[in-house]
């Protein structure tokens, strides 16, 4: 009938010590929590490391919630991690979710009418 399909991204995995952590696509219900923290982290990545560490220290609880919503870590595991490790896991989750969006957009453009052609 139709060759349309929905791309469902596969989670990526990273090792944190001996723990295998799954980096998952952000679900719509978690996007507000994820987006608030991710936006600030991405902005601070271009600045000095002290500003990023200060942000993580001031917003440790929000960072923990954001990590839990887009990884296989539960609240207890995230709470026990050193803050620097939690921040690194979240940065990896941001990178993975950027990749998930990058995979979905070409499929969306193709489904809406083919690849965009340059206008003449």
* pLDDT tens figures, 7-62: 677 889 999 999 999 999 999 899 999 999 999 999 998 888 899 989 999 999 99
Q: Give the tokens for residue 55.
A: 């942000």
- By CB atoms closer than 10 A (0-12, 13-18, 19+), residue 64 is buried
Q: Where are the domains of the chain?
A: 27-96
Tokens of 31: 């996007």
Q: Which tens digit of pLDDT belongs to each residue from 82-117?
A: 999 999 999 999 999 988 777 767 766 777 776 554
**Nearest by Cα to 23 from 69, 68, 70, 63:** 70
């Amino acid at each position: 009938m139709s060759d349309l399909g929905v791309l469902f991204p596969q989670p990526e995995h990273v090792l944190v010590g001996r723990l295998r952590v799954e980096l998952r696509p952000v679900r719509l219900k978690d996007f507000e929590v994820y987006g608030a923290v991710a936006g600030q982290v991405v902005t601070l990545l271009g600045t000095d490391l002290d500003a990023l560490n200060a942000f993580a220290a001031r917003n440790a609880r929000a960072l923990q919630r954001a990590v839990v919503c887009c990884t296989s870590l539960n609240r207890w595991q995230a709470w026990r991690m050193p803050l620097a490790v939690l921040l690194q896991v979240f940065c990896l989750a941001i990178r993975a979710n950027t990749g998930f969006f990058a995979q979905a957009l070409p499929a969306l453009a193709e489904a809406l009418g083919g690849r965009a052609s340059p206008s003449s």
